[in-house]
Amino acid sequence: MLSNKVQAQGSKGDTLYYLLDTTKTPVKDRLWVSGKEGSFKYFKIMCECLKDNSRPTFVYKLNDKGTQIDESDFRKKNFISLSKLIKLSKQTNINKHQIIYFVEPIEDIYIKHEVHLFFVRKRKPTIDSEIIK
């Protein structure tokens, strides 16, 4: 019993699940864009709702095959809404305090991947000048 307490103290905190099922969303209403870049798969919410008008982008490594969730376990999950996910993404410490899983339907099964919010660092403009005589 003691080992469970020690393990819980070392955890990040809340575990959150978001059901990413774009197949049931009409194309014109989809807010998600997904793709692959380098060794990552990304999911970007197409709203400019973060600092510097950046879009919330969640990533996981391509070599992560995910974990299958059976139907009984799927029914037990409390999924968060898109609006809650956007609200949470505005927190700069989300990756430290929450574990976020995206659950995707693939054929007749559900696969979960742990994702991390990717923060784009805005480059500060530089001004170069030269005096010409």
Q: Domain range for residue 64?
A: 12-118
Tell me if 45 is assigned to some domain: yes
The per-residue pLDDT for 110 is 92
The secondary structure of residue 76, as a DSSP letter, is H
Count of beta carbons in the 10 Å neighbourhood of residue 32: 14
In the beta sheet, which residues pair with residue 73? Answer: none
Rg (CA), the chain: 19
The domain tally of the chain equals 1
Tell me if 3 is assigned to some domain: no
Looking up tokens 């798969």 gives 41
Quote the CA–CA distance of 102 and 18 in Å, as a whole number: 5
pLDDT bucket at 3, cuts 50 / 70 / 90: very low
Tell me if 7 is assigned to some domain: no
Averaged confidence pLDDT in the chain: 80
Give yes or no for residue 8 having a pLDDT over 60.
no
